[in-house]
Structure formats: C-alpha cells, structure tokens
Structure 1
Amino acid sequence: MAVTARAFQLWRMRIAPHDSVSDVCRIADVKRSTLAQQLVRGKVSVPTIISIARGYGVSVVDALSEFNGFEDLPAGLTEPTDAELLSQVSHIDILRLLVARSEAQESGSESPLDLAPFPHRASVRAWIEAIDPGDLRQQLAGSTGVARQNLSAQLTAGRLAPWIAVQAGRIAGVSLASGLVVTGLITPEEGGWPEDGRARALRAVPDLDLVLLARDRLDVLGRQLRRTELDDGRDRAIWENLG
C-alpha cells in the first residue's frame, strides 16, 4: 500500500508550501527522477515520505499518520515489550553474553555489553514470532487480503510491507511503530525504542533461558543456511544442464 499522489501533494504543500518538487527532492536527498516516476504512477512510496519528513525535520510518525492506513500510528506509539527487544538481539550477541557470563563466574566481573546495531539478518521473522499471539499470520492474511504464502515469502526475504507491519502491531497489541523499526524503515529513536532497552532486556534473561534462546536462534540460522545451500545446488544444476 503506497500513498496516493494526490494525498502526497496535499501533504507536501502543507509542510513546504513555497518549495518546488525539485526543492523537496534536494532537501530530502531523494532523486528527482524517482519521485517523478512515483507521481506519474500515482503512488508515492512510504520510504519517500519518510525521507522527505526527515529532510524537513518533521516527525516521521506524525508524517505517516497523515495518510490512509497510518492514521492511528501516533496514538499507538508505545514502548516495545521485552520480547520485542530480545527479538532484535542477534544470535552472535546472545552467544557473546553467554561466554561473558561464563568468564565473569571465573573472574568475578562482567564486561560491558555492547550490542551490534539492528535490524539484524532475522529481525523481521524474530519480531513476528515474538509478538505472535498464536494465529498472527492467519489474522494478518484475513485482515490484509494478502495470501499466507506471500506473507511467508516476505518473512523469508527478511522484509514486510509497511502497512502489513503496522497491522501486525495492531493485531498483537504492541506499538504500531515497532514493525517499521524492525524492517529498518524508521530508526529505533523515531519509533520510541529506548536506547538501552535491548541490553537491559538481555541482561535480565536467566542463564538457562539465555541458552534456550541461543539454541532457538541457531536452529533458525541452520534452517536458513540449509535453504540457501539447496537454492545454490538447484542453481548449479540448472547451469550445468544448460551446458
């Protein structure tokens, strides 16, 4: 779901009444040809809206709320749950903390926890699993009209359309901006995620639960690697058959 060109032009005139489209593109660091193509097609992408909002110093959450499908975004902006925060910690950082805790038991002091930036490779799928009340994919398919196989394809590719990500938050009862954060469309700060939230949530996980969390993440990683190997094998077979 993109923004209609008419809705975009009305919004643009409100935030930059004296600027031309070229001015807007320059200030927002958006290619003029990109925006022109979107306007010709009658649909302006959400990333374009976000770039322009940032260029003009407008809250991206407030900017998106001007458009159909995102009206309740500001009212639905809350802090992420601990489960969401943990979903955005990579398996490498989880393993690093396990090692650090083992070393701390021997040395008596624990080293500072410096987490890698996110989104990580499995951010989107991990977030969906963290907020899933049990039938999230089914409810998403029913409420958005997107087939479950298409949803699965997006998750496998590590992406999720913005309006679907927001709808997932509505269904799960979490912050409506979280899906935009984990897909990398907006920054954690823009989405209301606390700077030290992930580290705090991770440190609160007991050793046993941390081991189980690491096991689950490695299991997902293993499945992804097997899928990649199978895809590579099929590609090689096709090229060999082509001679």
Structure 2
Amino acid sequence: MVPLGNEGDVRGVTAAPPRTLWRAPLPVVVFLVVLAAAAGLLVNRSDTPLDSSADAGFLRDMSAHHAQAVEMAMIIYDESDDSRLTTVAYDMALTQQGQIGRMEGWLVAWDLPIRGAQPPMAWMAGHDHGGGEVPDRMPGLATDEQMEELRSASGVEAEILFLELMIEHHRGGVEMAEAAVELASEEAVVSLAQGMVDAQQSEIDLMSDMLVERGAEPVD
C-alpha cells in the first residue's frame, strides 16, 4: 500500500493490487485519516480558521476536485491492461482519497461544515495570478460529457482520453494549490498544498510521456 505521507509521487510505487481488492483500502484510509485529524490535529484551539477563510474554501473545493480525479482513476484502472498505467491510477486514487479524508478531517476538527455557504472558488478571489477574479468553475474539471465519454471508451482510446483529461485536471489542481500556498494561513494547509503542487506537476510530466508513447500529441 502507498504510505499516507506520499503526496502522489509515483516513483518507486509498488504494483497495484488485483482489481478484486481495489475498493477495499479507500474507506479504510478515509476513516483512519479523519479519525486522526479529528482526534488530535488542530483541536482545542481558539484561533481556528473562519468559515469564509481561504483555508476552509480550499479544503472544501479541493476535496470536490479530488473526488473527480479518484473517479477518473478508478475508471481507467478497471479498463486498462497496462500495468504501469494502472499502478499510476491506483496510486493517484489512493493518495487523493486519503487527502480528501485529511482535508475533511481538518474541517471537522475546526467545527466547520464540510460544505460551506460561499460559492465554489470564492476563496481564490485574492489570488494574484487570477487577477482577483473568481473562476467560473473549478479549474481543470472534466465536463459531464467528457466523463461519460471516458466511461464509454475502451482500449488505447480510453487510456489516451484519461491521460488528456487527467493532465488538464492536474493543471487545474496545481493552480488551486498554488493559490492556497499564497492565501492560506494554516501551516498544515500550506504544506499540504505545496506537496500537491510538487506531486501533481511530477505526474503531469509522467502522463505527458505516456501520451507520447501511445502516439498522441502532448496536451498544450
């Protein structure tokens, strides 16, 4: 199993387990991470972030962003016969599901709702790279049509589509995480966000190479 401390670096990852064991680890990871966060992290503090803070907004939006990445990774894990790609997909899904548990655990520890009252991405309004404007939607998210196309695809076509969509998804995640590094006030949140930037950029490079190996053009 990939250690929970791994933020997504796929180098040295052991082969994914058989598909029949696929869904078992994810609920366990979420339970343990949420339990640890709620039990010991940021508890009994009087200066926890506000509901409207960049910290809370990032944790909520990135949790939703990660959830789609997990779904995409599970789709290609079940579809592809390429052991290298399925290993990457397994590691990606397990890591991001674990991060969802950690992020939601912090919200619980701060006594904040998992779903906030503010519109998605409102916390990014102060991000310098965005010109102070709130994005219309979470950067990099696949549309419903693209997700349906991925579910319907097979073989190399499915692998290429997954890689193309996940590269864009990761680029959007990097944009959000960079904003959190700039705007968040909690050291733990900033550290997690920076780890996401580093890991997802590494995965973008790896997936770009995989696209070329399959005869597809790199994503611009």
TM-score (norm 2): 0.23
Q: Give the alignment's TM-score, normalised by structure 1.
A: 0.22
Higher RCO (CA-CA < 8 Å; seq separation 6+): 2
Higher CA-based Rg: 1
